[in-house]
Amino acid sequence: MTLKEFAHFIAENAPGRRTIEIGIGFQLSVALRLKELGYEVTVVDWNEEAVENAEREGLKAVKDDVFNPRMEIYRGTDVIYSVRPTPEIVEPILHIGRNLKKPIYILPFSGDPVPPGTQLVNYRGLAIYVYKPLRK
């Protein structure tokens, strides 16, 4: 399976075309594939070099710390996703999505536990954690 399969999952399930990837690091394939598919993609990382690298590749990139997020960055998005986030940032990612009532898709490292409040989905052999907000 390639990481680009995750981009196709997002494209098939996102409620809109504005996405934010949290913790982009130096793995840009999902964000770039979504951009090719016509999505408005913003990527976020705490690492200035990762942000600059994403900008060089044509992505809108923002430096932010998910432990103390600037919520205005995330408000206009339709879906939040993360590719293999380190375990310590999973809960802050979920907190942002829950706070804004946005769906969250997480492609975990194998062996990561399923975070509370998410559902494990199998998509073309990829294990994906899905959080869908309750709508009133």
What is the tens place of the pLDDT at every residue in 53-92? 999 999 999 999 999 999 999 999 999 999 999 999 999 9
CB 45 within 8 A of CB 25: yes
Give the C-alpha separation, 53 to 77, whole Å: 22
Domain boundaries, given as residue ranges, for the chain: 4-131
- Give the residue-averaged pLDDT of 44-57: 98
- Give the residue-averaged pLDDT of 14-40: 96
Residue 135 predicted with pLDDT over 80: no
- Give the residue-averaged pLDDT of 4-29: 95
pLDDT at 1: 53
Mean pLDDT (the chain) is 93
Under CATH, domain 4-131 is a member of which superfamily? Answer: Vaccinia Virus protein VP39 (3.40.50.150)
